[in-house]
Amino acid sequence: METIQKGVGESITSELALVQAAKGGDLEAFSELVRRYDRNIFRIAQHITHNEEDAQDVVQDAFLKSYQNLDQFQGNSKFYTWLVRIAVNEALMKLRRRRNDRTVSLDEDVETEDGSIPREVADWAPNPEQLYKQAELSDILKKTIQGLAPGFRTVFVLRDVEGMSTEETAEMLGLSVPAVKSRLLRARLQLRERLARYFKSKQAGDGQQ
């Protein structure tokens, strides 16, 4: 199996070699792929579904589907790109079921300009994160990102949280590069606008009697 040396005594088997081995029925190889990407898939699924139980199901279903459809994986893209695409579809399906709404899709509400035009132009406190305790900060960040339409928050999560490139994100979501860029800009601006209410600098005298 092709390996990449990483320091003394350490080696990382390449993704492609693991996929090839798994295709041939090597379950250990597939197990390694699960270990490699399960945390990322869980995070992405949580961001889309907002529900831990659904996110757990998405992790299981996405890996099982990828295993069952390995013969359809052509190797033109990375396995991870292909896996995320499966997981995003599973997560959107969960969201649809939970909302009992067949129209939930990556295109939902993407035409809205709400929050995309900056209104809040007061500067933020120098270290806004330190205004809140860690648990409070996490709640604020979760609540804020959950308020975005699925098509916006999915692009933001892949691009800015998971660190994928614009091109990879486009491939994962089946969108064009300009569509990813446009959604990313609006997602970033909407989040900024909504976070401003928590993080903006207090004017002198604010909060004093």
Partner 1 sequence: MKCTDFLKELTDYLDGRLTENLRVELDEHLHWCHECHVVMNTTKKTIEIYRDNQLYELPEDLRNRLHQAIMTKCRGSKPGKKTST
The whole-angstrom separation of Cα 151 and Cα 132 is 29
At closest approach, how far in Å is the CB of 69 from partner 1?
7
The answer to whether residue 39 forms part of the interface with partner 1 (CB under 8 A) is yes
Are the C-beta atoms of residues 80 and 35 closer than 8 Å to each other? no
**Strand pairing partners for 195?**
none
Q: Rounded to the nearest whole angstrom, what is the least distance from the CB of residue 184 to partner 1 in the complex?
A: 6
Q: Which range, of 4-12, 28-36, 86-94, 171-179, touches partner 1 by CB under 8 A? A: 28-36
Among 18, 54, 63, 170, binds partner 1 (CB under 8 A): 63
Q: Between 174 and 178, whose beta carbon lies closer to partner 1?
A: 178
Q: What is the distance of C-alpha 70 from the center of its chain?
A: 23
Q: Which residue reads 């088997």 in tokens?
A: 13
> Between 21 and 104, whose beta carbon lies closer to partner 1?
21
Helix (H) / strand (E) element for 162: namely: none
For partner 1, which is the closer residue by CB, 14 or 60? 60
Q: Is 16 in the site for partner 1 (CB under 8 A)?
A: no
In our burial notation (b when 16+ CB lie closer than 10 A, e otherwise), range 54-68 reads bbebbbebbbeebee
DSSP code at position 163: -
Which amino acid is residue 77, in one-letter code? S
Check residue 110 for interaction with partner 1 (CB under 8 A).
Answer: no
Q: How far is the CB of 157 from partner 1 (least distance, A)?
A: 8
Among 55, 95, 104, 158, binds partner 1 (CB under 8 A): 55
- The span from the CA of 94 to the CA of 52, in Å, is 11
Tokens of 117: 């035009």
Integer Cα distance of 44 and 70 in angstroms: 21
Binding site for partner 1 (CB under 8 A): 22-25, 27, 30-31, 34-35, 38-39, 42-43, 46-47, 55-56, 59-60, 63-64, 67-72, 118, 121-124, 128-129, 137-138, 141-142, 145, 156, 160-161, 163, 166, 181, 184-185, 188-189, 191-192, 195-196, 199
